[in-house]
Amino acid sequence: MENRAFKPFGSISSLTLGGGGLGQVWGKTTREEAVATVNVAIEKGITHLDVAPMYGKGEAEMVVGEALKGKKVDGISVTTKCRLGTLPDNQVYDYLSRSLTRSLDSMNLQRVDLFLLHSQLIEDDFILHTNDEFKHRTATTLSSYFDAVIPSFEKLKEEGRIGSWGIGGLGQNKALIKAINHEIKPEAIQCVVNPLNSAGAIGYVDKAYSPKEILQESQKKNIPILGIRAVQAGALTEKMDREPHPSGMDRPDFDDFESAEPFRALAKRWKEPVASLAYRYALSIHNISSIILGVKNRVELEDCIKAEQKERLTTDQIEEIDKQCLPSKE
């Protein structure tokens, strides 16, 4: 597997095993199968595990803890996150610290290599496109981020409990651009990377949210990038492998599946599995260190590894994909 430069760790495998699938966000699996998937990922050369307390209410972190128990973890980097929301500044450090402690305990670790803000960033007076009544829990204001979150992250670094810190790359475009250009820049960012230019259901904060704008700004400022949503929650696959949530919260993902029909037609014409082409697209974008996978079992993992082993797409191929996919999103 290809290894790429990634400043927080030095280097990183081009694929990262994410915790969404392990935590059963993307459909059912078992603890045994999830642990086996982690072990196979490491055997196949994946060097980075990306989890969060939100993935299965801690299940993904417990899977990683069980998989790594009793093993040497040299060369394996671990990322976790905290959805902070917006709290009084004097409560931010304690909240982040408590969340980190729980995560470390679940994974049987003394430190994580990367700790990310899992809240969506917004300007202080911004009104969310949907679910504005919950923004104090789901979104962090820029003033809180600048005045309390960054100093708290730096303190956790000084304590030796985290190696680096960063942000999730979701939220209000204007706020994210300001965070990327702040005098103290995030040490890493997760960016949505897919030909639909869509975050689907998690893009609920800003109606005008454009993943490409955030990606391009991060590239311009040389912020280390981890790619997420390569198959856009299943929209860029042959078929959705789960039923819509009864609440309708993931309706945008299913709408994206319909919008992706031209992409599926192109994959058929190129005689390539749909998900494989989506992963190759993300892997071929400039200055992305690793693509985070949402697989929930070894079969799905092996399919991703096969895609990674294929040649990167050419500029002409990327442009053809964009031509097929983007008109429906504009």
pLDDT digits (tens, 9 = 90+) for 160-191: 999 999 999 999 999 999 999 999 999 999 99
User: How far, in Å, CA of 17 to CA of 58, rounded?
Assistant: 16
Cα of first residue to Cα of last residue in the chain, in angstroms, is 35
User: How far, in Å, CA of 25 to CA of 21, rounded?
Assistant: 6
Angle at 70 between CA 69 and CA 75, to 5 degrees: 85
**Which has the closest alpha carbon to 60: 35, 85, 27?**
35
In the predicted model, residues of the chain with pLDDT beneath 50 are: 328-330
**Which has the closest alpha carbon to 26: 12, 42, 37?**
37
User: How far, in Å, CA of 23 to CA of 29, rounded?
Assistant: 8
How much is the pLDDT for 327?
Answer: 55
Q: What DSSP letter does each residue of 17-31 carry, written as one string?
A: EEHHHHTTTTS---H
H/E run at residue 3: strand 3-6
**Which has the closest alpha carbon to 64: 33, 34, 101, 44?**
34
Integer CA distances (angstroms), 110 to 106, 113, 163, 186, in order: 11, 10, 11, 23
SS3 state of residue 15? strand
Q: What DSSP letter does each residue of 260-300 carry, written as one string?
A: THHHHHHHHHTT--HHHHHHHHHHTSTT--EEEE---SHHH
Residue 293 tokens, joined? 């996978």
How much is the pLDDT for 29?
Answer: 86
Strand partners, 5: 11
User: How far, in Å, CA of 206 to CA of 62, rounded?
Assistant: 33
User: In this predicted model, what pLDDT tens digit does every residue of 241-300 receive, in sequence order?
Assistant: 888 889 988 999 999 999 999 999 999 999 999 999 999 999 999 999 999 999 999 999
User: How far, in Å, CA of 47 to CA of 199, rounded?
Assistant: 25
Superfamily name with CATH number, domain 3-329: NADP-dependent oxidoreductase domain (3.20.20.100)
How much is the pLDDT for 157?
Answer: 98
- Residue type (1 letter), 321: I
Q: What is the pTM of this model?
A: 0.94
